[in-house]
Amino acid sequence: MPHNLDHAQDSEEQVEIVRKIDLSNLAWPSSSQASRGLCGNKEYVDFRGYSWTDANRVVTLEEEFIDQIENSNDPQTVYERIVDELYDEDEGLLGLDLGIAGVVVALSAAGCVPFASCNGGVYGGHHHEHHPLVGFFHVAESCPFS
């Protein structure tokens, strides 16, 4: 008989959640799949192949921008200037949201495939998520996160 989660929470019972995954159904995303979008992300951009040098550059740039925003008397104007000037440039944030760009590029440098990212609107504007998020694929042997 399934547990009633509300009842379990009220009575402080612990409910074990078990997920069984058939690993034979999992595969590394191909370039063809990536060109059509991954995991339902129709705005997907393939960020594979960045180096640790790229990651360090983006993280350093991001830190500088965040410092500018946090130390400003008009943070919204500073944020808008940063987005207008550097959003799409190859030497800027690569079209990624401020606050998660460095994470995305670092994951790429680690051999992962980031497939979705959003800063959750922490600096304003319309965003797809309500909180910062980076989704990615990784192979355990090449990227020991687990």
- The pTM of the whole model exceeds 0.75: no
- Could you say which DSSP state residue 128 is in? S
Residue 58 three-state SS = helix
- Say whether pLDDT at 127 is over 60: yes
Q: Which amino acid type is present at position 12? A: E
- Among residues 80, 94, 59, the alpha carbon closest in space to that of 125 is found at 80
Task: Note the pLDDT tens digit of each residue in 11-70.
Answer: 577 888 888 878 777 777 777 777 676 777 777 888 888 999 999 999 999 999 999 999
- Could you say which DSSP state residue 73 is in? S
Place of tokens 């009220």: 10
What percent of the chain has a predicted confidence (pLDDT) above 70? 81
Report the C-alpha gap between 51 and 33 in whole angstroms: 23
Task: Please state, rounded to an integer, the average pLDDT across all residues of the chain.
Answer: 80
